[in-house]
Chains A and B, each alone.
Chain A
């Protein structure tokens, strides 16, 4: 098992736990977001190294990790479709990928804002982006 696999496995379990325990989809989404953000903050510069590692993995390992990544995304999709009944499954999945890209932006580019404040900005943006339209 690669280091990356262990990390993904843990993330997957913890997010699954939230999805099972928190009934209200809005609350579940906020909790999942916070969890994901805390993880990216804690990982910091190691994220880039993992991404690189992922690219260079043998096909079989990459296939395995991609499956976990899929399941991870699908936990989010499941919460989003409950909250946003106006979205099709495909739209919800697109939205989740967009939110993940939004959350990862801080790892890719330095704004100069302290990490904790970046987390607040990102969290508020992600929740607003997924909020049902009124």
Chain B
């Protein structure tokens, strides 16, 4: 790394470390509070209180509640992508991998339903650079799906697989829009079987032509 003589004085390494640990802690706490109570109901003071910081002290790490929300989004989607890659690499074959990621996504949607709903509501209002970065992460996540599903449905074109994947993700994410009141496990099982059947039988042939008697 090139050294510049006119570098601004750096903070001692230990302070930086502590500060980054604090940031992580704040993001984790905010993610939990947003997910359990909802973004709009949680105040910056609530988050500060949970980690023993006053409002002004918290603002040294994050300039606003919105900045914290963006950090939570970044983290949530990164964790989802990491877990996706883990599951796929652990799976012995693509069909088993699909089963695992279908479960991953529906459990994610149920656990993070508050944050997914806030994403939908607030995304357009976020600063442009944040939107681009989050969109990129989202795109890459969807492409991981496309890559896997294409292996299982090689007769499909890339765009057909992508349309089917968007639809399957939409289905799996429905709990963020509608709280059914079903026990979690029942909802997970139902949505998983629906998504798997949908992906297995996705077809580009019009039904009128594909319909067979019986």
Interface positions of A (Cβ within 8 A of B): 30, 55, 87, 90-91, 93-95, 97-106, 108-109, 111-113, 117-118, 120-131, 133
Given known A-B contacts A30-B207, A105-B170, A118-B163, A133 and B193 have beta carbons under 8 A apart: yes
B7 to chain A, nearest CB (A): 45
Q: In the complex the two chains form, is A97's CB within 8 Å of B174's CB?
A: yes
Given known A-B contacts A90-B180, A90-B181, A125-B202, A102 and B167 have beta carbons under 8 A apart: yes
In the complex, A112 Cα to B146 Cα: how many Å? 13
Q: In the complex the two chains form, is B166's CB within 8 Å of A105's CB?
A: yes
Return chain A residues, CB-CB under 8 Å to B167. Answer: 102-103, 105-106, 121-122, 125
Q: In the complex the two chains form, is A111's CB within 8 Å of B203's CB?
A: no
Given known A-B contacts A105-B170, A124-B202, A131 and B197 have beta carbons under 8 A apart: yes
Q: Does B169 contact A (CB under 8 A)?
A: yes
| Interface of A (DSSP majority class) | helix
Given known A-B contacts A98-B174, A98-B191, A101-B171, A124 and B203 have beta carbons under 8 A apart: yes
Q: In the complex the two chains form, is B163's CB within 8 Å of A113's CB?
A: yes
Closest Cβ neighbor of B178 among chain A residues: A97
**Mask for B143-177, Cβ within 8 A of A = 1, else 0?**
00000000000000001101110111111111101
In the complex, A32 Cα to B121 Cα: how many Å? 28
Given known A-B contacts A94-B191, A95-B194, A130-B194, A111 and B171 have beta carbons under 8 A apart: no
Q: In the complex the two chains form, is A128's CB within 8 Å of B207's CB?
A: no
In the complex, A90 Cα to B190 Cα: how many Å? 11
Interface positions of B (Cβ within 8 A of A): 121, 142, 159-160, 162-164, 166-175, 177-178, 180-182, 186-187, 190-191, 193-195, 197-207, 210
A50 to chain B, nearest CB (A): 14
Q: In the complex the two chains form, is A111's CB within 8 Å of B207's CB?
A: no
B121 to chain A, nearest CB (A): 7
10 nearest interchain CB pairs?
A105-B170, A128-B201, A111-B163, A125-B198, A101-B174, A129-B194, A94-B180, A124-B203, A102-B171, A97-B178
Closest Cβ neighbor of A125 among chain B residues: B198
In the complex, A103 Cα to B138 Cα: how many Å? 20
